[in-house]
Homo-oligomer: A and B are copies of this chain.
Amino acid sequence: MALVNEHFLKLPNNYLFADIAKRVNRFKTTHKGVDVISLGIGDVTQPLCPAVVMAMHKAADEMGDAHCFRGYGPEHGYDFLREAILKNDFLPRGIHLDINEVFINDGAKSDTGNIQELIRWDNSIGVTDPIYPVYLDSNAMIGRAGVKDEQGRWSNVEYIPCNAENGFVPSLPKHRVDVVYLCYPNNPTGTVITKAELRKWVNYALKNDTLIFYDAAYEAYIQDDSIPHSIYEIKGARKCAIEFHSYSKTAGFTGVRCGYTIVPKDLTAATISGERIPLNPLWNRRQCTKFNGTSYISQRAAEAIYTPQGKEQVKATINYYMQNAAKMLQTFKELGMEVYGGENAPYIWARTPKGIESWKFFEELLHGAHVVCTPGVGFGPNGEGYVRFTAFGSHERTEEALERIKQWMK
């Protein structure tokens, strides 16, 4: 009898954003002709920049020409892109990485989901809460998260609350954990971590032999020069951290699919008998077996982001979105809402008025203002009582949404 992986059955039926999409569609079906504006899912709306489009045309032509056609690329990605990453994303910050520490992927979701394959099924997990659902769902699928209780808490997970009460600064775990997921600038709260706070985590990890999975997918949105863009800005992080990057939000690649993961050569985990095993070759083995590299066209598109024109154009789009964030912050504050984030990240985290439940607020906002937000509880128990708004809309639609919210809240 072929037996199913029963860990899947412990998962909530729907992935958060699929659930939201379903509710919005239901609303649209029952309210024909009503114009709904989404500030919900963190998806970009502005077109790819000209430098990227030009690079894709060039790559397409190459692939149609017998003299420069390319078949399988390296599983870890092409050196042209890995070199551009080292030179632009790390060297200017004084971070020296080896090219073989860079693994090009098809977006950070795949790698943040797959990375847990490298560790034993019974390692303990810590997460800041609220958090991007992929981290826990991917651990749950292999049984590492345990079982989910009625409040939506996994039994084998240490939740580290990040909320208004602690100023969104996560405390070090009360119980020692083998692995911890950090995401900064944070999805969903839009808050950031200072170098001093991040240093505490690196020191904790080194002292406790804890692995840090650091998701830096939103680093391009940092405006404040004192905020770290990479965990490797902290001494010792090469020995305890894997870092995930994505071009999805940096350059509007949500439909193009490209990002990268850094697995330092100094990073090890232990066997049960205490032998230290480097994780870099293990991740390489994983990728060579279950991945066949990222589309050549997508890799050339990513390379173009690092040209002088590409840099300027990508920056302009980020500024465009951050103008939305500024307007949203201003409007929400004027409305007397309690809001966080939005200064170094494209997300605004708002406390629901009178502490109503986040799904309830989601429905009220949808029916009352025809605007979609993301219920905070979808990101974990400590997200209850909050909702997330994204700054990824067009100026026109964002302003229209704000106007509607103003009218509705009056």
Contacts and interface: CB of A to CB of B under 8 A. Distances in A.
A297 B296 contact: no
A173 to B, nearest CB: 13
Contact of A297 (B8, B56, B282): B56
A298 interface: yes
Copies in the complex: 2
Contact of A289 (B15, B248, B254, B288): B15
Interface string A1-41: 11111101101010100100000000000000000000001
A209 B60 CA distance: 46
A113 B289 contact: yes
A272 interface: yes
A367 to B, nearest CB: 25
A215 interface: no
A155 interface: no
Nearest to A59: B56
Contact of A255 (B13, B63, B270): B63
B50 A2 contact: no
Contact of A66 (B15, B47, B109): B47
Given A53-B61, A69-B46, A289-B137, A120 B255 contact: no
Contact of A256 (B1, B5, B296): B296
B255 A8 contact: no
A117 B292 CA distance: 18
Given A65-B47, A141-B289, A1 B109 contact: no
Interface stretch (A70-78, A146-154, A157-165): A70-78
A290 B141 CA distance: 10
A297 B47 contact: no
A385 to B, nearest CB: 25
A104 to B, nearest CB: 12
Contact of A109 (B63, B137, B292): B292
B63 A53 contact: yes
B296 A71 contact: no
A4 B120 contact: yes
Contact of A71 (B43, B120, B295): B43
Nearest to A289: B137
B292 A120 contact: no
A271 B7 CA distance: 10
Contact of A285 (B8, B70, B209, B290): B8
Given A2-B179, A4-B119, A71 B45 contact: yes
Given A3-B269, A5-B119, A290-B138, A72 B43 contact: yes
A110 interface: yes
A323 interface: no
Contacts of A290: 109-110, 113-114, 134, 138
Interface in A259-302: 269-272, 277, 279, 282, 285-286, 288-298
B46 A4 contact: no
Contacts of A66: 46-47, 394
5 nearest A-B residue pairs (beta carbon): A113-B290, A53-B64, A4-B269, A56-B60, A43-B71
25 contacts: A2-B123, A2-B210, A2-B211, A3-B119, A3-B123, A5-B121, A6-B120, A9-B277, A13-B285, A15-B285, A41-B72, A45-B69, A47-B65, A47-B69, A48-B64, A48-B69, A63-B256, A69-B252, A71-B252, A106-B106, A109-B290, A109-B292, A110-B292, A113-B291, A117-B141
